[in-house]
Structure 1
C-alpha cells in the first residue's frame, strides 16, 4: 500500500469533518427546526458559536 502524503491526509480529514458537520446539522434541524422560541438556544449552543 502506497504511503499517503500529509496533504492528502489533511484533505481527507477536512472533507470528513465537513461531511460530519453537515450531517449533524441536518439531523439537528430535522429534530429541532429553528423557530423564534429556540433560535436563541441554537445561537447560544457551543456547536453554533463559531459561526457568530
Structure 2
C-alpha cells in the first residue's frame, strides 16, 4: 500500500489510543445517573428530666 508509506505506525497507534481514550471518557461522563436520596427519619428520644 503506497498510500500508507508516509504514515508511521507509531503515530497511527498513538492516534488510535487518543481517540479510544476520548471516546471512553465521553461515554463515561455523559451519563447522568439519578440520585436516590433515601430520607431516613432519625428517631430522637426526648428525655424530659423531672427534678
Q: What TM-score does the superposition give when structure 2 sets the normalisation length?
A: 0.49
Q: Choose 1 or 2 for highest CA Rg.
A: 2
**More helix per residue: 1 or 2?**
1
Larger relative contact order (C-alpha < 8 A, sep ≥ 6)? 1
